[in-house]
Amino acid sequence: MFKRYLQYLPRQISAEQAIDIATSEVPGQVVDVELDTENGLLVWVIDIITPQGVKYEVDVGANTGNIFWQRSIVLPLGNWSSYQGETIFH
């Protein structure tokens, strides 16, 4: 319920800027962008699929533009929409 109100919170970094920041760190195809909170901080959560078939979730601070966290999940080749795999924390 709280998530629907996140769009109204002030932020310095737009979704487009967050995508640019995330893809400069993890090149690939952006498949999802979501505004969320992590440990009380407002973040853009950017999901990226690399050409090697690895899904990354990159958290970009909505006020600072800093990358707070990135996680990767190995995807079965050619099956990006319904992935299952081992989560690897960086």
DSSP calls for 27-63: -SEEEEEEEEEETTEEEEEEEEE-TTSEEEEEEEETT
Whether domain 2-89 has CATH 3.70.10.10:
no
Predicted confidence (pLDDT) per residue in 3-25, tens digit: 555 555 667 899 999 999 999 99
Whole-number Å distance between alpha carbons of 31 and 29 = 6
Q: Express each pLDDT in 18-60 by its tens digit.
A: 999 999 999 999 999 999 988 888 899 999 998 888 899 999 9
Residue 81: pLDDT over 50: no
- pTM for the model stands at 0.72
The domains of the chain are located at: 2-89
Residue % of the chain over a pLDDT of 90 = 43
CA distances from 76 to 4, 47, 51, 55, 72 (A): 32, 16, 12, 10, 13
Contacts of 29 (CB under 8 A, 6+ apart): 48, 49
